[in-house]
Amino acid sequence: MCFNYVYGYLGDPSLPPNYFSSGCYYCVETICAPCGVVIAWTKFAHSESTTNILNFLASVYPTQDSWPDYICIDKACQVLATAVINGSWEVWKHTSQFIVDAYHYINHHLQDYLCWTYCNPAPANNVAPNLVIVEYDSNGQPYSHWAFNTQVCKQLNAWLGGYQSIAKWITPENFNWFIHVMLFYHTKYTIKKQQKKQSNQETEDGDIGCDEETETEEEEGSDEE
Ligand SMILES: [Zn+2]
């Protein structure tokens, strides 16, 4: 199962329209696996519209056999509504389900029938066993638990947002390079952390997950995450 998420914000579109810079972009959008690995990213020029999100997904997953089973988006209920209206849902529905993140669901499901009915990230009626796992408390009593972290892109976004003051004023070419390197760096760190977890090794403070060659090549600008 692949589990994707589209979310992001960088840049302050306050510069004159004839001055091209990263600040002219409305946001950076990312698609992540639930473990935090970044699968793809792009820039949206004017808005985080549901149509832009659907087009981005279609560009990353061009064939039906590559489509994920679950696609988690903070505004999945709106994306679903757009997909139904423009007809693309007739194709998506055969392979995928749009679900919202946990925070969105808590705040929106009581107000929106579509959100409540079709975008629940952890339905309790056993219709999506991959999304809900059963664990046991200290008394041996079973309880349902979210199987995946639906906030993974929000967490990535919060980290990336810490570099907004840098990304805001650099040239478009440097902006693309900067974001790509930072997301590569984040992904490498995430994979390294998973490997350590699997091998039951303790994570060392300050280990950024880079091998020796990479550390030598990127001797500058390697802040710890
Ligand atoms: Zn909703």
Q: Which phi and psi angles does 36 have, rounded to 5°?
A: 110, -10
- Ligand 1 centre and the CA of 200: distance in Å? 38
Spatial contact of 40 and 31, defined as CB atoms under 8 Å apart: yes
pLDDT at 223: 46
Q: Is the dihedral of CA 20, 23, 26, 27 positive or negative?
A: positive
- Ligand 1 centre and the CA of 78: distance in Å? 7
Residue for token pair 């039951």: 200
- Ligand 1 centre and the CA of 48: distance in Å? 15
- Ligand 1 centre and the CA of 83: distance in Å? 14
- Ligand 1 centre and the CA of 40: distance in Å? 24
Q: Which residues contact 39 (CB under 8 A, 6 or more apart)?
A: 4, 31, 32, 33, 60
- Ligand 1 centre and the CA of 218: distance in Å? 42
Q: Which residues contact 170 (CB under 8 A, 6 or more apart)?
A: 21, 22, 178
- Ligand 1 centre and the CA of 29: distance in Å? 19
- Ligand 1 centre and the CA of 100: distance in Å? 7
- Ligand 1 centre and the CA of 73: distance in Å? 10
Amino acid, res. 222:
S
- For the chain, the distance separating the N- and C-terminal CA atoms, rounded to the nearest angstrom, is 28
pLDDT at 24: 58
pLDDT at 78: 94
- Which residues of the chain register pLDDT less than 50? 1-13, 15-20, 209-225
